[in-house]
Copies of this chain bind each other. A is one copy, B any other.
């Protein structure tokens, strides 16, 4: 939680943190500012003190909505410093950054750098800063175990309420997609048709998804996966836009939108087969569902997340599938890890991979996905089932949005022969 930041800085021996980039689609900056139209910003927080937000002069009123102390960049005489830097913009930025640190009482020590922004200009500035302010040492961290990944790992109830609301929006969109698909007319060759009688494509379905998400107050910054047939067998295939929707094919529909303005995400997957299912596909689905249920029933407080990854691997291996436990980087069978934390990032701590550190626990406040799957691209099929869970303060596991687990969706205007 946010209140852990000072302790996390202490544990990393950081005297201050510097966050760069805009307030939207930049999780660390959003986390401390609450988002909004603050496009060119820097934030400095000295350990034990409040954060200071440096903003474009034109964005001063938007920046003030964060409730943080604001310093408009116009405070630093740009033209004068530009001359002093001999017209070198990177040097000028470093000179200004040094003054910004001084204005926050940071005159030396270790400073952790965070943010999602342009790496090139950041590096150019830091190379100069190292020279003109060697007493300040700027350091980075691998993302997966960074200070913000630890802080964000546990959510307070207001954060969970926002994720739950996104779960409601997400499943409402999934419900509309199911309703739309099952209401289509079907051609003799089992292709679904649009209102105008032309074949329905993956691109058509995706544009409806975007529309419904916008209508319900969400955005879709990373797109979604709507993959049919062979594509469904490739876990991260987003689907081929020109593919036609056909009966009896596995469709993996993985949707991970966020609040409009770049806030909290939800993550959800169902696998469908329209009209009927090949027996082999039904068997694959049943296997995944059985393993999903086994995990969901056994989720337990303060257990390392990877214990459930091991459980899933063992279950699938019993049935002869390859998994990361017995195969390095398998391309068929069970080819990914069980889930991940979820919040301002689609993927965040806790991690469930077999090599994840033991401190990736299902502790109170964690919000995480559970998403086992099996993939056989050469057999033209794949299955994944995913829900998002919250580890409640009382230790109970709560699924944050309910949705049925039907695999075969009956077509209203088509009868199985």
Contact = CB atoms under 8 A, between A and B. Distances in A.
Interface stretch (A54-62, A295-303, A389-397): A54-62
Contacts of A215: 207, 211, 214
A217 interface: yes
A118 B139 contact: no
Contact of A235 (B58, B77, B329): B58
Contacts of A119: 20-21, 113-117, 119, 122, 140
Interface stretch (A95-103, A141-149, A160-168): A141-149
A229 to B, nearest CB: 13
A93 interface: yes
Given A114-B119, A116-B116, A140-B120, A329 B223 contact: no
Interface string A91-133: 0010000000000000000001111111111111111000000
Contact of A236 (B62, B210, B238): B62
**A contact residues, range:** 35 or more
Contact of A118 (B93, B116, B217, B238): B116
Contact of A120 (B77, B115, B123, B222): B115
A222 B220 CA distance: 12
Interface string A315-358: 00000000000001101000110000000000000000001000
Interface string A224-239: 0100000100111110
4 nearest A-B pairs in the assembled complex, by CB-CB distance:
A123-B140, A124-B140, A37-B238, A214-B214
